[in-house]
Structure 1
Amino acid sequence: METFVLILDLIGTFAFALSGATLGVRRRLDIFGVLVLSFAAALAGGMTRDVLIGATPVVAISDWRYPATTLVAGVVTFFWAPLIERLQFPVRLFDAMGLALFAVAGTEKALSFGIAPPMAAALGMLAGIGGGIARDVLVARVPLVLQAELYAIAALAGAAVVAIGHWLALPPLPCALAGAGLCFGLRVMAMHFGWHLPVALQGNSDDPPAPDGPPR
């Protein structure tokens, strides 16, 4: 199970790093800025999770594979951005992949440290949304978790599947796959159909749409 969580973590790290680097390229940052954004997007959530469950030193800085993964994703995106941009809505697609994988891996790791299933699901959600928050704050953009369609809710739903499966003593692998699939599916469907939580009625309706995603 430890190896499985590591694999999920690394895949999620790469997906989130691609989303951060792609946003950095869109904002015309230099290569250092792109790499910083890639690192922050990929590892901020996992680092927060590890600190809260007492897994120190955090794996993002104690295991070379994590920063190396973000470095590879950042360099690939910086030099081959046009290829990545051919994907439909690349930033949000990679973000959805990272969200799903980190929510599941974060929950599994919290459970392995003896955290109760409800709080493990909450930590899984935090691991999923933390990187996106750090990425958006660094480019002075309102974080997607505060405005996007079913972002944190999708992460919590996927994490809850893993936590409930653990509570019912079900096999962890099918639960992890089901949780990741649910989170990713909810996020993609929400982007496609515009599903979102109720928003405040007051505000300036003339604000321009976010430049880094599809129109909503």
Structure 2
Amino acid sequence: MDELVDFWSNIRFVDIIEFLGTFAFAISGIRLASAKRFDWFGALVVGLVTAIGGGTLRDLLLGLTPFWMLSSVYLWCTVLALFCVIVYRKILVRLNNTFFWFDSIGLGLFVVVGAEKTLALGYAPWVIVIMATITGVVGGIIRDILINEIPIIFTQELYAVACIIGGLLFCLLNYLGVTMPVVQISTAVCVFVIRILATKYHWRLPILKGED
């Protein structure tokens, strides 16, 4: 309980973004796990790795202690996501687009978190873009492997590209001296909108074809 009190008393805007991103990604993972008829524990594991996978790899590459090891808030966030799916399963599980919306929201929020944490450590813009992309997509890759699906980063419309564009926008706005809250919101919205438009209009990169 003291840990939760300390977390909320020292909370920053980026922490709120990370918490919301964790919740959104956890919902998306649990939603897919439910479609595969996983039990509660299996769904919790899938939701957790979806939520923390990208941030874990990012922190390890940056030489940091993975964020979820510093506070149990993110574990409880995943438990809350599981509880929401159980209670509101008629809404969340049966709607075909539930996964898409929560995954898109989580993607935009995690790109912001990855970019800002890398910026705070003084890395170059190209590193910021890569870490933002890793934060956004790696959790989904692990999730899809666990549920025996082809990772959506390789098949769906502009998934990783949306993260890259978001990371570039983050760097540009920061270079121009835009206030950080505006940079954060603009980046998240940019990634989210690209995902929506790419899905609606079927924007995608050319498919690499082998020999006929």
Task: Confirm or deny a common fold (TM above 0.5).
Answer: yes
Distance 2:100 2:145 in 1: 16
Give how far 1:167 is off: 2.4
One of 28, 31, 53 as aligned partner of 2:40: 31
Counterpart selection for 2:73 from 42, 65, 81: 65
TM-score, normalising length: structure 1? 0.88
Aligned-residue CA RMSD in angstroms? 1.7
What letter corresponds to residue 49 of structure 1 in structure 2?
Answer: R
1:114 to 122, 128, 131: 122
- The residue aligned with 2:190 is 182
1:81 matched to 2:59? The reply is no
Which 5+ residue runs of structure 1 have no aligned equivalent?
A: 204-216
Q: CA deviation at 1:78?
A: 3.2
Corresponding position: 1:10 with 2:19: yes
Deviation track 1:22-71 (CA, whole Å, cap 9, x = no partner) reads 00000000001000000011110011111111221x11122111111011
Find the aligned partners of 1:198 and 1:4 in 2 and give their Cα distance. 38
Give the conservation status (yes or no) of the 8 Å contact 1:34–1:78: no
Q: For residues 88 and 192 of structure 2, what CA distance do their matches in structure 1 show?
A: 25
Give the structure-2-normalised TM-score.
Answer: 0.90
Match of 1:97 among 80, 105, 119: 105
Map of 1:42 onto structure 2: 51
Take 1:193 and 1:81, find their aligned partners in 2: how far apart are those partners?
29
Displacement of 1:196 in angstroms is 0.7
Residues 123-162 of structure 1 aligned to structure 2 (within 5 Å): 123-162=131-170
Instruction: Judge conservation of contact 2:85–2:93 (CA < 8 Å) in 1.
Output: no
Provide the residue aligned with 1:165 in structure 2.
Answer: 173
Q: Compared with structure 1, are the counterparts of its residues 201 and 14 closer, same or farther at alpha carbon in structure 2 (3 Å cutoff)?
A: same
The alpha-carbon deviation at position 88 of structure 1 amounts to: 5.3
Q: Conserved in 2, the CA contact under 8 Å of 1:21 and 1:78? A: no
User: Which residue pairs with 2:208 in the alignment?
Assistant: 200
CA drift of 1:201 comes to 3.4
AA matched with 1:18 = I
1:159-185 alpha-carbon deviations (Å, 9 max, x no partner): 211122222332111111111111000
Gaps of 5+ in 2: 1-10
Aligned partners of 1:173, 1:166: CA distance in 2, in Å? Answer: 10
SS at match of 2:64: coil
SS at match of 1:28: coil
Q: Which moved more, 1:45-54 or 1:166-175?
A: 166-175
For 2:12, what is the secondary structure of its paired residue?
Answer: helix
Which ranges of 4 or more aligned residues in structure 1 deviate by more than 3 Å?
Answer: 85-88
